[in-house]
Chain A
Amino acid sequence: MRAPLTRVLGTLTVLLGTIYVGWRWTLSVYWEHWWIAVPLALAETYALVDGYLFTLTVWRMKQRGRAPEPDPETTVDVFITTYNEPVEMVVETARAAKAITYPHETWVLDDGDRPEMAAAAAELGVGYVTRNPDWRDKPRHAKAGNLNNALFVTEGELILILDADQVPDPAILERTVGWFRDPEVALVQTPQWFTNVTDSDPLGSQAPLFYGPIQQGKDGWNAAFFCGSNAVLRRDALMQLGIVGYVEEVEVAVADALRAADRILARAARDAAREAPRAADALRSLRGAAEEARGRLASGAAVGEVTYAFQGAVDAASREVVDDDLAAIRRDLEAVASLPMHVDGKAGELVLDDLALDRLSDRDWSPLGAVESVRDLVRAVDVDRPDEAMPVMPMATISVTEDMATCMRLHSLGWRSVYHHEVLAHGLAPEDLGTMLGQRLRWAQGTLQVLLRENPLTRRGLTVGQRLMYFATMWSYLSGFAAVVFLVAPVVYLCFGVLPVHAYGLTFVILFTPYVVVNQLLFYVVGYGVKTWRGHQYSLALFPLWIRACVTAGANVFLRRPLGFVVTPKTRTEGGGFPVRLVLPQLVATVVLVVASVVGVVRLWTGAADSVIGTGVNLVWVLYDIVVISVIFQAALYRAPTPEKESTA
Chain B
Amino acid sequence: MMEIHTEPVTGYTVLACAGRLTMQYASRLREAVDAAVGSGTPNVVVDLSGTSFVDSSGLGALVAGLRVARTAGGDLRIAAPTEQVSSVLSLTNLDRVLTPHPSVEEAARGW
B20: A residues at CB distance < 8 A: 370
Contact with A along B67-88 (1 / 0, CB 8 A): 1001101010000000000001
Q: Mark B52-66, 1 if CB is under 8 A from A, else 0.
A: 010111011001101
Partner among B25, B59, B66, B88 whose Cβ is within 8 Å of the Cβ of A275: B25
Q: Using CB atoms, name the residue of chain B closest to A351.
A: B93
Most buried by A among B23, B59, B71, B88: B23
Inter-subunit contact B22/A367 (CB<8 Å): yes
CB of A370 within 8 A of CB of B66, answer no
Whether B10 sits at the interface, judged by CB under 8 Å, is no
CA distance A279 to B25 in the complex (A): 11
Query: Contacting B92 at CB < 8 Å: which of A276, A279, A328, A350?
Result: A350
> Closest CB-CB distance, A10 to chain B, in whole Å?
67
* Of A333, A348, A351, most B-chain CB atoms within 10 Å: A348
In addition to A336-B70, A370-B24, 4 A-B residue pairs with Cβ atoms within 8 Å of each other are: A321-B56, A329-B60, A335-B67, A367-B55
Inter-subunit contact B93/A350 (CB<8 Å) = yes
A33 within 8 A of B: no
Whether the Cβ atoms of B92 and A367 lie closer than 8 Å is: no
B32 smallest CB distance to A (angstroms): 13
A360's partner among B22, B26, B88 (CB-CB below 8 A) is B88
B24 to chain A, nearest CB (A): 6
Out of B24, B57, B71, B94, which one reaches A339, CB within 8 Å?
B71
Counting chain A CB atoms within 10 Å of each CB, the highest count among B55, B70, B96 belongs to B55
Are B57 and A276 interface neighbours, CB within 8 A? yes
Q: Which residues of B contact A322 (CB under 8 A)?
A: 55-56
Say yes or no for A298: interface residue by CB 8 A criterion. Answer: no
Given A356-B92, A360-B91: A365 in contact with B57 (beta carbons within 8 A)? no
Question: Are the C-beta atoms of A332 and B63 separated by less than 8 Å?
Answer: yes
A49 to B89: give the CA distance in the assembly, Å: 71
B26: A residues at CB distance < 8 A? 275-276
List of 5 A-B pairs having minimum Cβ-Cβ separation, nearest first: A370-B22, A325-B56, A367-B23, A325-B60, A332-B67
CB distance from A184 to the nearest CB of B (A): 54
Cα distance A348–B53 in the bound complex, in angstroms: 23
Residue A590, interface by CB 8 Å:
no
Provide the A289-323 mask, 1 if CB < 8 A to any CB of B, else 0: 00000000000000000000000000000000110
Decide: B97 and A275 in contact? CB cutoff 8 A: no
Q: Mark A343-376, 1 if CB is under 8 A from B, else 0.
A: 1001011111000100111000111111100000
Which residues of the partner chain A approach B92 to less than 8 Å between Cβ atoms?
Answer: 350, 352, 356, 360
B101 touches A (CB below 8 Å): no
B93 A370 Cβ-Cβ under 8 A: no
A-B contact list, 18 entries, CB within 8 Å: A275-B24, A275-B25, A278-B57, A279-B23, A279-B24, A328-B64, A332-B66, A333-B97, A335-B71, A346-B96, A346-B97, A352-B93, A360-B56, A365-B56, A366-B55, A368-B23, A369-B55, A370-B57
CA distance A594 to B93 in the complex (A): 87
Contacts of B55 in A (CB 8 A): 322, 325, 360, 365-367, 369-370
CA distance A440 to B64 in the complex (A): 66
Nearest Cβ on chain B to A357's Cβ, whole angstroms: 9
Chain A positions 249-286 with a Cβ under 8 Å from a chain B Cβ:
271-272, 275-276, 278-279
State which size class the interface on B falls in.
20 to 34
Task: Decide if the interface of chain B is mainly helix, strand, loop or mixed.
Answer: helix
Question: Closest CB-CB distance, A521 to chain B, in whole Å?
Answer: 72
Establish whether residues A321 and B23, one from each chain, have CB atoms under 8 Å apart when the complex forms: yes
The answer for the CA separation of A308 and B22 in the assembled complex, in Å, is 26
Question: Are the C-beta atoms of A336 and B66 separated by less than 8 Å?
Answer: yes
Q: Which residue of B lies closest to A372 (CB)?
A: B1
CB-CB nearest in chain A for B71: A339
Encode B18-37 as 1/0 by CB contact (under 8 A) with A. Answer: 00101111111000000000
Chain B residues contacting A326 (CB-CB under 8 Å) are 56, 60
Partner of B57, one of A341, A352, A356, A367: A367
Chain A: which residue is nearest B22 at the CB level?
A370
Which residues does chain B contribute within 8 Å of A329, judged by CB atoms? 56, 59-60, 63, 94
User: How close is A365's CB to chain B, nearest CB, in angstroms?
Assistant: 6
Interface 1/0s, chain A 410-436, versus B by CB < 8 A? 000000000000000000000000000
Known: A336-B70, A359-B91, A360-B91. Is A328-B23 also a contact (CB below 8 A)?
no
B93 touches A321 (CB 8 A): no
Partner of A333, one of B25, B57, B63: B63
Contact partners of B57 in chain A: CB under 8 A: 276, 278-279, 321, 325, 367, 370
Contact B94 A350, beta carbon cutoff 8 Å: yes
Using Cβ atoms and an 8 Å threshold, which residues of chain B touch A332? 60, 63-64, 66-67
Please indicate the chain B residues that have their CB under 8 angstroms from the CB of A368 in the complex.
Answer: 23
Kindly list chain A residues whose C-beta atoms are within 8 Å of the C-beta of B27.
275-276
Once the chains bind, are B67 and A336 in contact (CB under 8 Å)? yes
Nearest chain A residue, comparing its CB with the CB of B21: A370
A359 cross-chain contacts in B, Cβ below 8 A = 91
Contacts of A272 in B (CB 8 A): 23-24
Chain A residue at smallest Cβ distance from B25: A275
- Chain A residues with Cβ below 8 Å from B64 are 328, 332
Distance of A360 from chain B, by nearest CB (Å): 5
Measured in the bound complex, the distance between the Cα atoms of B94 and A359 in whole Å is 15
B67: nearest chain-A partner, CB-CB: A332
Instruction: Tell me if B91 and A356 are in contact (CB < 8 A).
Output: yes
CA distance A180 to B90 in the complex (A): 61
Q: Determine the chain B residues whose CB is within 8 A of the CB of A335 once the complex forms.
A: 67, 71
B53/A370 in contact, CB under 8 A: yes
| Nearest CB in chain A to that of B90: its residue | A356
- The residue on B at minimum CB distance from A359 is B91
Closest to B91 in A: A356
Given A336-B67, A339-B70, A339-B71; A370-B23 close (CB under 8 Å):
yes
- Residue pair B60, A341 in contact (C-beta under 8 Å): no
Q: CA separation between A360 and B96, bound complex, in Å? A: 18
Of chain A, the residue at the smallest CB distance from B69 is A336
Whole-angstrom distance between the Cβ of A241 and the nearest chain B Cβ = 40
Q: How far is the CB of B20 from chain A (nearest CB, A)?
A: 6
Q: How far is the CA of A361 from the CA of B88 in the complex (A)?
A: 11
Q: How far is the CA of A578 from the CA of B57 in the complex (A)?
A: 69
For residue B67, which residues in chain A have a CB less than 8 angstroms away from its CB? 332-333, 335-336
Query: Are B28's CB and A325's CB within 8 A?
Result: no
